[in-house]
Amino acid sequence: MLFTPLGDSSQELEFVGELSFSMEAIVSLSNFQTYLYENFKINQNCPVFNCNVTYTAKGVARSIKTIARMSVGTMEFGEIHLTETEWLTGGAYHCDFSPQYQSYFFDVTTSSLIISGSSIKMDGNYKIVITPI
């Protein structure tokens, strides 16, 4: 992958002139991918893994087990898809994420990827904590 700086002091990166997201997102995704490989031996362009998801939105936190798919070696770099299950449905919640639209952070203390964003669909801010199991 070819990443080029957008400016001398900017932490934003541009991916082949099409995608743009923060250095923190790239580092977080890389660290999360390394964690998946080292602890679960998952080493693919699109890692698929079981996880616990805690979704906080509208002032309520709910947790559920599901399957996540992460794109890392493709043109969809950084996209994450959560498999719908029980109450976690695309009609009620965001199940697809991209570093272009959400912020990503890898929490080394909990080995979790934290995704945060804001949308009309979720009535404001939301946070998703994805912890591989």
What confidence tens digit (pLDDT) does each residue in 104-116 have?
999 999 999 999 9
Question: Does residue 36 belong to any structural domain of this protein?
Answer: yes
Q: Which domain holds residue 58?
A: 23-132
Domain count across the chain: 1
Higher pLDDT, 72 or 120: 120
Question: Does residue 6 belong to any structural domain of this protein?
Answer: no
Question: Does residue 1 belong to any structural domain of this protein?
Answer: no
Concatenated DSSP letters of 97-131:
E-TTTSEEEEETTTTEEEEEEEETTTTEEEEEEEE
Average pLDDT over residues 40-61: 90
For position 72, what pLDDT does the model report? 81
Whichever domain contains 50, its CATH number is 2.30.29
> Given pLDDT bands bounded at 50, 70 and 90, which one contains residue 1?
very low
> With b meaning 16 or more CB within 10 Å and e meaning fewer, what string describes 46-83?
ebeeebebebbbeeeeeeeebebebbbeeeebbbbbbe
Question: Does residue 42 belong to any structural domain of this protein?
Answer: yes
Average pLDDT over residues 13-35: 74
